[in-house]
Chain A
């Protein structure tokens, strides 16, 4: 990030922290949650590289930087920890000192990954003979090779090229666009893999593409448990991909 956007980011972060203390925390819970979700959505879109928080709850707990909050352990728990320190001396400090223990906030409201997966899953079914993970131009894959793909066929497009959906349906394939959007690479790979694991096609073909290569490198071993995994075109290299 260049110097100017960094200054803007710090100014907005300061404003957010002030408004959180002065306004948001005084609102009824339902209003507070809605406002925090709105602010989180805006912050993620405006500063995607700076917001490490994964949910409104995590964002609100840590301020605009998304760092975990600190808070005291409840007294009943502290008393129990002190009692257990009799058996495990490493616990003595935790029962005595608030600063020794971080209050970690689980992002229970981290919805965007699950929503992206669920939206894609609802467009597909199970029992595919072939699932094609692709990016770029579908026509570039070659009409003959596409025609040779086993049916029923599902096409998962990580680039969401405008003509691909229409072309895919024209060849009788089910189609879902799954571009990165607001997913980072890990989440994008996980959603793609989850989709294939749940659909469990007989064969999973994947074109050369940075996202798909990363997905197969990370999850190829697991994917091979449900499908024959091979690079596109199917005949070029039939070796099952396993990291």
Chain B
């Protein structure tokens, strides 16, 4: 990643694809809906996508999607790791802000704009997350994410609980300072790259905020999800400086 501050008022939406097939179509429509909402409010949005060992159906779903623009990029990679894919995309991102999005999720139209507003209001080291998480598919449920400034936030609970999902927006320097760390759970026993990133960013002085009136729709699948892989391998979060501060 270049050390510069990035293109002002631009959000680089980092979208990681693997084998989402037709699910990628809905995701890209939802991202385009966010992009139009952001453009109407003076922000630019570029898509920086990775396809990690994908299949032809997923590739076709992405490359033929009507939402794609000439400035959007798709990187074909064979990294077999979500963290490394995100880092790869972030390296190629141009925006002042980076948004982390998964290739099979959907989002409220205002998510990117509200996240940038939050960061501008709360300070350069702020990290924005949607307030509501809505799971759909094999489990239909919703829950709230907590603000780190909320008096109910208790740091020691991060030992057993991940407070914030990977869906996040922050200034590019946050990602330069705290890149994601590889989490090939079957090979390493480590997992939950977002949980680890949350811990590392807190240790680095960042503050996580839950942005009101925003949500992420998280697709729950019967098989093939990273969550299930983490559970089946009894994955544990990598060592983090945060756990030495408790």
7 sample A-B contacts, Cβ–Cβ < 8 Å, listed by A number: A88-B217, A100-B140, A106-B143, A106-B145, A111-B154, A114-B246, A221-B188
- The complex places the Cα of A87 from the Cα of B31 at a distance, in Å, of 11
Interface membership of A146, Cβ < 8 A: no
Task: Write the chain B residue with the least CB distance to A191.
Answer: B159
Which residue in chain B gives the minimum CB-CB distance to A198?
Answer: B243
Quick check: is B72 within 8 A (CB to CB) of the other chain? Answer: no
Q: Give residues of chain B (147-174) contacting chain A, Cβ–Cβ below 8 Å.
A: 152-161, 163
Closest to A187 in B: B160
Query: Complex Cα distance A90/B161, Å?
Result: 29
Contacting B at CB under 8 A, from A77-101, are 77, 80-81, 83-84, 86-88, 90-91, 93-94, 100-101
Q: Is the CB of B143 within 8 A of A104?
A: yes
Complex contact A198–B152 (CB within 8 A): no
CB distance from B150 to the nearest CB of A (A): 8
| B156 engages A87 (CB within 8 Å) | no
State how many angstroms separate the Cβ of B73 from the closest Cβ of chain A: 22
A 48-90 binary contact with B (CB < 8 Å = 1; else 0): 0000001000000000000010000110110011011011101
Complex Cα distance A221/B234, Å?
10
Query: Which residues between 222 and 246 of chain B lie within 8 Å of chain A, taking CB atoms?
Result: 234-236, 238-239, 243-244, 246
Which B68-112 residues sit within 8 Å CB-CB of chain A?
106, 108-109
- Alpha-carbon separation in the docked complex, A77 to B160 (Å): 29
Q: Is the CB of A101 within 8 A of B190?
A: no
A219 to B159, CA, bound (A): 15
Cβ A118 vs Cβ B246 within 8 A: yes
B157 touches which of A100, A105, A109, A194 (Cβ 8 Å): A109
Contacts of A224 in B (CB 8 A): 189
Chain B contacts to A: CB under 8 angstroms: 25-26, 29-30, 33, 106, 108-109, 132, 134-137, 139-146, 152-161, 163, 188-190, 213, 215, 217, 234-236, 238-239, 243-244, 246
Q: Describe B's contact surface by its main secondary structure.
A: mixed
- Within 8 Å by CB of B106, from A73, A88, A104, A218, lies A88
Instruction: Assess whether A177 is interfacial by the CB under 8 Å rule.
Output: no
CB of B161 within 8 A of CB of A94, answer: no
Which A residues are CB-close (under 8 A) to B236? 190, 193-194, 197, 219, 222
**Interface size, chain A (Cβ < 8 Å):** 55
Most chain A C-beta atoms within 10 Å of own C-beta, residue among B156, B160, B234: B160
> Are B243 and A194 closer than 8 Å at their CB atoms?
yes
Q: Which of B26, B157, B158, B161 contacts A87, CB < 8 Å? A: B26
Contact of B142 among A103, A114, A117 (CB under 8 A): A103
Q: Bound state CA distance, A82 and B33, in angstroms?
A: 14
Instruction: Determine whether A225 belongs to the interface, using a CB cutoff of 8 Å to chain B.
Output: yes
Residue ID in chain A nearest B135 by CB atoms: A104
Is residue A172 contacting chain B, with contact meaning CB distance below 8 A?
no
**Distance (whole angstroms) from the CB of A184 to the closest CB of chain B:** 11
A103-B109 in contact (CB<8A): no
A80:B244 contact, CB within 8 angstroms:
no
B108 — nearest CB in chain A belongs to which residue? A80
> In the bound complex, how far is the Cα of B111 from the Cα of A76, in angstroms?
13
Complex contacts, A103 vs chain B, CB 8 Å: 141-143
Query: A190 vs B29: C-alpha distance in the bound complex, in angstroms?
Result: 40
Compute how far the CA of A98 lies from the CA of B137 in the bound complex, rounded to whole angstroms: 16
Distance between Cα atoms of A73 and B132 in the complex (Å): 10
- For A77, what are the chain B residues with a Cβ–Cβ distance below 8 Å? 108, 132, 134, 142, 215
> Across the interface, do B188 and A94 meet the contact criterion of CB distance under 8 Å?
no
Add 11 more A-B contacts to A94-B140, A114-B156, A118-B246 (CB < 8 A).
Answer: A80-B109, A84-B26, A87-B30, A88-B106, A90-B137, A91-B106, A108-B146, A111-B154, A114-B158, A197-B236, A226-B239
